[in-house]
């Protein structure tokens, strides 16, 4: 598995024509912040 920072994933998604819609700290949709240990990002194709 390849680990990447959220910003790196955002760049890859933008290159694929996607835009970020939301980012959460976990599947329970807790807010994502500097102390979050994980992230879940939701992207949409415009």
How far, in Å, CA of 12 to CA of 6, rounded? 10
At 7 the pLDDT is 93
In a domain, 34, yes or no: yes
Q: How many domains does the chain have?
A: 1
At 2 the pLDDT is 80
In a domain, 30, yes or no: yes
Tens digits of residue pLDDT in 1-46: 688 899 999 999 999 999 999 999 999 999 999 999 999 999 999 8
- Domain limits for position 13: 6-44
In a domain, 1, yes or no: no
In a domain, 40, yes or no: yes
Q: Which helix (H) or strand (E) holds 7?
A: helix 6-15
In a domain, 22, yes or no: yes
């Amino acid at each position: 598995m390849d680990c990447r920072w959220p910003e790196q994933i955002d760049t890859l998604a933008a290159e694929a024509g996607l835009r970020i819609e939301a980012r959460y700290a976990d599947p329970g949709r807790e807010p994502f912040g500097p102390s979050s240990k994980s992230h879940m990002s939701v992207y949409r194709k415009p």
